[in-house]
Structure 1
Amino acid sequence: MAKSTTQYVCTECGWSGAKWFGRCPQCGEWGTIEEFHEARISGISKTGASNRAASIDVSQAATPITEVGSDQVARIATGFEEFDRVLGGGIVPGSVVLIAGEPGIGKSTLLLESAGRIAARENHTVLYISGEESQAQIRMRATRVDAVQPRLLLASTTDLGAAIALIEQEKPSLVVVDSAQTISSADVDGITGGSSQVREVASALIDASKTLNIPTFLVGHVTKDGSIAGPRTLEHLVDVVCQFEGDSQTALRMLRAVKNRFGPTDEVGCFDMSGDGIEEVRDPAGLFLSPDEHAMEGTCITFTVDGHRSLPIEVQALVTNSVLPAPRRATNGVDTNRLAMLVAVLYRHGRIPLLSNDLYVSTMAGATAREPACDLAVVAALASAATHCPISRTVCAIGEISLTGQVRPVPRLQQRIDEAARLGFSTAVIAKQRRGSRELNARKMKLLEVSSIKDALNALGLSRTHAIPTTQPPRQPI
């Protein structure tokens, strides 16, 4: 016999309890505790449980791992090589993939364009279920991204029962549900998008996907702090969790695998958002580097590692005399606190005083230089701007800087050097390698090993003799 119990669940983090709170005791958010009723099955006698256990077929209870087949599963290509690599080689039949991201970042566009490319092949039908848009609105977007295909089926519904019935009726090669927070079940109490509804919708869709061996893509909303909306169990239930990230002011989009049962979790795919849809960027070097091939003061190039991919980043710095009591520090793509530390180290150990100057440090195309391996490039760009000495475009700087002025080695240095050699760089300023470490393959590059920030500035040809004056000019009368 089923008994109805009352529980209180936080819509932000999924906390549940028997008492209502104005503030969630787990995540600290206010006004997120909601009441819902969940049916629970009454206690089962031990005799009934033992009888059922005895009736289970022994051949289905457990199998030695040596007797389990290891046949390769035929994956479905999405039409984007970057997308396939993040998924581990393509879509696994029967898998459930959650794509999360901020509003307007391009989640629906990416999945609709992928659905159109899959439906364009023979013997592949894709069912696109939307709880946010009508069929006419989806058709308009599909026309814009060139995803109109006869085997791409559109459905607009917010009822879970209707969605499951469509999946069982059509039995497509792929199902896209946009989004999981807009679908609701009439059998569960709670508002649409609440913890109980999202949990029920995810469980039903996962059960249908596993039973019919149909892969399913779920679009997930995010909260104001960037986490996936709904209970935390949603991320545990699905097979793959991908975060679609990007800056709304730039066209660059990054797809990261946070969880992947069928591949690595540190893969990153690069995409370019345009008016005609999303295009994959197989070589992002052209996005992160300026097209000017001439050396310019205040710029330095470094290489960061994101997943299995090494990306070039151009750090630009501008140093000017300050007329303010507190000098200005403006950054874009660089951590402000890290910049303050590097400026102090540059003054103490590099003898280039910039404490009283206005400093502006930025990266290109929305790239981020927050990895410690970018420290040497940030310092080199500041020193280049201060001394008016440009750094050659064929020279890169890779290294972490400590408070003592030492240049420390960074992980995956060989991967960074390989990418620099592929892009045509001739010289790399790196940290002096430790004794016993694996010998680096220079790849026809000249490796300049330095142990301190002073040695690094000398190797880059930066001298403080041409540094801009740090004294403030006299103030003009108002």
Structure 2
Amino acid sequence: MAKYKSKYVCQECGYESPKWMGKCPGCTKWNTMVEELEERAKPGETARRSLSAEASRLAPITTIVGEDEPRLTTNISELNRVLGGGVVPGSLVLVGGDPGIGKSTLLLQASQELASNNNKILYISGEESAKQIKLRAERLGAASPNLYVLAETDLFLLEQQISHLMPAVVILDSIQTIFHPDVTSAPGSVAQVRECTAHLMRLAKTKDIAILIVGHVTKQGAIAGPRLLEHMVDSVLYFEGERHNTYRILRAVKNRFGSTNEIGIFEMGEDGLKEVTNPSEMFLSERSLGVAGSTVVASMEGTRPVLVEMQALVTPTGFATPRRMATGVDHNRIAMIMAVLEKRVGLLLQNQDAYVNVAGGVRLDEPAIDLAVAVSLASSFRDKQTHPYDVVIGEVGLTGEVRGVSRIEQRVKEAQKLGFKRVIIPAKNVAGWEHPRGLEVVGVQTVSEALREALGG
């Protein structure tokens, strides 16, 4: 007979302790330790846990035969792009996002598209009844006979239904509602989430079924549950956006089968989510022409060039310490660029408040946006408008130099496609490729030179 031992587990980070503590040593949070019973099996009772249905054997990697299985395409190009080309059979994908952002809508629409390709799809919900799912599916137009629905939270019963149906893809909404009967803690706890995810991972690998699970997020925007959850799965996708904004961004932060820099952009409507095939045009649709503090930059999101508007507002401060606020870009990067402008260009910004914003709600984290930030800040400070048909690209160094960036040809072609007349790029990137017709390419070596070209002085 198995013996039970009491332990205390932090519900935030999964830290385990033999005794209760008010403050968790792992995440320094208070009152997060909850008592759980740990089953200790006898040596002969330990079950073998393998990711294959058969016992594993040693083999040289050169003798292993790789299986070239085709991916399951969803007919949603933005989702396929983020996943690396489609859903990989046997993969475990975690999708996270704020409540009400559209995670269930996205996955239900993906289920319909997969089912329309003669694939059996099982949609499991622990939060809605089958009738409620049916109502939502009718609104989204998801009515395929290959789409099966199950409202259940018992992990063992789920496994029985999956083994009986043998679908190509299983969608589980959400992992925090599923419980393992052999784990004594409540559903949603660290132990339950960890054991259920491990069980689903073995199920996906042994039966070659792709499983997509929905995960709730905390107030800080991270996936709720232990950090181990993100390490166990093959891919982690975040569905981002503002509730009052109709646009949603699907971003991969981990992907064993593709790039982690890809993003997919959707627009939320009455009939569900619609793809945005040209995000550059969408981000620039409401741009004001001929105003100070506005610059267009070409950023790379994975393999896709995206043109976005960089906005800056510089105004005299009323505080002892000037405010530096940034939305969509790194706050520390803004402080560094302002220091370069003050030291190398001579702009007196130490008594100025500075606000920088990336229009459209997208987040940019590559160095190629530095020069556009510098031009926007200088434009607002001098109250000089930028040329409305200029695109600015380049990385700024601490000595005031403008460094080269990667994939300059793709960025410039995207600017030409949207009707821009001139691009200001690092001098290092001017040579070695064919410049598009009708587009002036200006190379600059320093920030001062870039400001003279963009602002006329």
**TM-score bucket of the superposed structures, by smaller chain:** 0.7 to 0.9
Task: State yes or no: 1:61 paired with 2:57.
Answer: yes
Q: Is the 8 A contact 2:91 2:205 kept in 1?
A: yes
Q: Give the match for residue 269 of structure 1.
A: 264
Equivalent position SS for 1:391:
coil
Task: State yes or no: 1:399 paired with 2:394.
Answer: yes
Q: Give the match for residue 453 of structure 1.
A: 447
Of 20-29 and 249-258, more deviation after overlay is shown by 249-258
Larger Rg computed on CA atoms: 1
Equivalent position SS for 1:304:
strand
Q: Shift of the alpha carbon at 1:176? A: 0.9
Residues in 2 aligned to 1:320 and 1:195: alpha-carbon distance in whole angstroms: 48
- Residues 65-111 of structure 1, C-alpha deviation per residue, up to 9 Å, x if partnerless? 33322342022112211111222221122222111222222111110
Q: Give the match for residue 469 of structure 1.
A: none
- Residues 168-224 of structure 1, C-alpha deviation per residue, up to 9 Å, x if partnerless? 222222211100110112221101111221122222323333333222111111222
Q: Shift of the alpha carbon at 1:307? A: 2.4
Q: Give the match for residue 295 of structure 2.
A: 300
- Residues 263-293 of structure 1, C-alpha deviation per residue, up to 9 Å, x if partnerless? 2333222222223211122221112113568
Residues in 2 aligned to 1:108 and 1:204: alpha-carbon distance in whole angstroms: 22
Equivalent position SS for 1:185:
coil
Q: State the one-letter code of the partner of 1:167.
A: I
Q: State the one-letter code of the partner of 2:337.
A: L
Q: Is the 8 A contact 1:76 1:91 kept in 2?
A: yes
Of 344-353 and 226-235, more deviation after overlay is shown by 344-353
Cα 1:421–1:163 change in 2 (3 A) is same
Q: Give the match for residue 232 of structure 1.
A: 227
Q: Shift of the alpha carbon at 1:318? A: 4.0
Q: State the one-letter code of the partner of 1:93.
A: P
Task: State yes or no: 1:110 paired with 2:106.
Answer: yes
Q: State the one-letter code of the partner of 2:205.
A: K
Q: State the one-letter code of the partner of 2:121.
A: V
Instruction: Count residues with an aligned counterpart.
Output: 451
Q: Shift of the alpha carbon at 1:38? A: 2.0
Task: State yes or no: 1:32 paired with 2:25.
Answer: no
Residues in 2 aligned to 1:279 and 1:322: alpha-carbon distance in whole angstroms: 43
Cα 1:146–1:193 change in 2 (3 A) is same
Identity %: 43
Q: Shift of the alpha carbon at 1:424? A: 3.6
Of 289-298 and 388-397, more deviation after overlay is shown by 289-298
Q: Is the 8 A contact 1:290 1:364 kept in 2?
A: no
- Residues 309-343 of structure 1, C-alpha deviation per residue, up to 9 Å, x if partnerless? 22112112345566777766554434455444434
Residues in 2 aligned to 1:406 and 1:60: alpha-carbon distance in whole angstroms: 56
Q: Is the 8 A contact 2:387 2:455 kept in 1?
A: no
Q: Give the match for residue 472 of structure 1.
A: none
Residues in 1 aligned to 2:14 and 2:329: alpha-carbon distance in whole angstroms: 33
RMSD of equivalent CA atoms? 3.1
Cα 1:296–1:133 change in 2 (3 A) is same
Point out where structure 2 has 5 or more consecutive residues left out of the alignment. 49-53
Residues in 2 aligned to 1:13 and 1:257: alpha-carbon distance in whole angstroms: 22
Q: Give the match for residue 149 of structure 2.
A: 154
Residues in 1 aligned to 2:339 and 2:61: alpha-carbon distance in whole angstroms: 58
Residues in 2 aligned to 1:308 and 1:422: alpha-carbon distance in whole angstroms: 17
Residues in 2 aligned to 1:395 and 1:30: alpha-carbon distance in whole angstroms: 52
Cα 1:60–1:339 change in 2 (3 A) is closer
Cα 1:305–1:63 change in 2 (3 A) is same
Residues in 1 aligned to 2:55 and 2:142: alpha-carbon distance in whole angstroms: 47
Alignment of 1:205-284 (within 5 A): 205-284=200-279
Equivalent position SS for 2:203:
helix
Q: State the one-letter code of the partner of 2:79.
A: F
Normalised by the length of structure 1, the TM-score is: 0.84
Cα 1:452–1:251 change in 2 (3 A) is same
Cα 1:23–1:308 change in 2 (3 A) is farther
Residues in 2 aligned to 1:409 and 1:242: alpha-carbon distance in whole angstroms: 31
- Residues 127-175 of structure 1, C-alpha deviation per residue, up to 9 Å, x if partnerless? 1111111222222222222223333222212222222222122222221
Q: Is the 8 A contact 2:294 2:312 kept in 1?
A: yes
Q: Is the 8 A contact 2:169 2:210 kept in 1?
A: yes
Q: Is the 8 A contact 1:421 1:443 kept in 2?
A: yes
Q: Is the 8 A contact 2:394 2:425 kept in 1?
A: yes
Q: Shift of the alpha carbon at 1:260? A: 2.4
Residues in 2 aligned to 1:336 and 1:187: alpha-carbon distance in whole angstroms: 47
Q: Give the match for residue 71 of structure 2.
A: 75
Q: State the one-letter code of the partner of 2:23.
A: R
Task: State yes or no: 1:419 paired with 2:414.
Answer: yes
Alignment of 1:361-380 (within 5 A): 361-380=356-375
Alignment of 1:61-140 (within 5 A): 61-122=57-118, 124-140=119-135
Of 289-298 and 419-428, more deviation after overlay is shown by 289-298
Q: Shift of the alpha carbon at 1:412? A: 4.1
- Residues 218-274 of structure 1, C-alpha deviation per residue, up to 9 Å, x if partnerless? 111122222222233322332222222223332332222233232233322222222
Q: Give the match for residue 196 of structure 2.
A: 201
Q: Shift of the alpha carbon at 1:363? A: 2.6
Residues in 2 aligned to 1:337 and 1:95: alpha-carbon distance in whole angstroms: 37
Equivalent position SS for 1:181:
helix
Task: State yes or no: 1:181 paired with 2:176.
Answer: yes
Q: Is the 8 A contact 1:335 1:370 kept in 2?
A: yes
Of 156, 159, 162, 1:167 maps to: 162
Q: Shift of the alpha carbon at 1:3? A: 2.8
Equivalent position SS for 1:217:
strand
Q: Shift of the alpha carbon at 1:356? A: 4.5
Q: Is the 8 A contact 1:129 1:155 kept in 2?
A: yes
Cα 1:205–1:71 change in 2 (3 A) is closer
Cα 1:320–1:33 change in 2 (3 A) is closer
Residues in 1 aligned to 2:68 and 2:55: alpha-carbon distance in whole angstroms: 23
Residues in 1 aligned to 2:84 and 2:147: alpha-carbon distance in whole angstroms: 24
Point out where structure 1 has 5 or more consecutive residues left out of the alignment. 53-57, 464-478
Q: Give the match for residue 10 of structure 1.
A: 10
Normalised by the length of structure 2, the TM-score is: 0.88
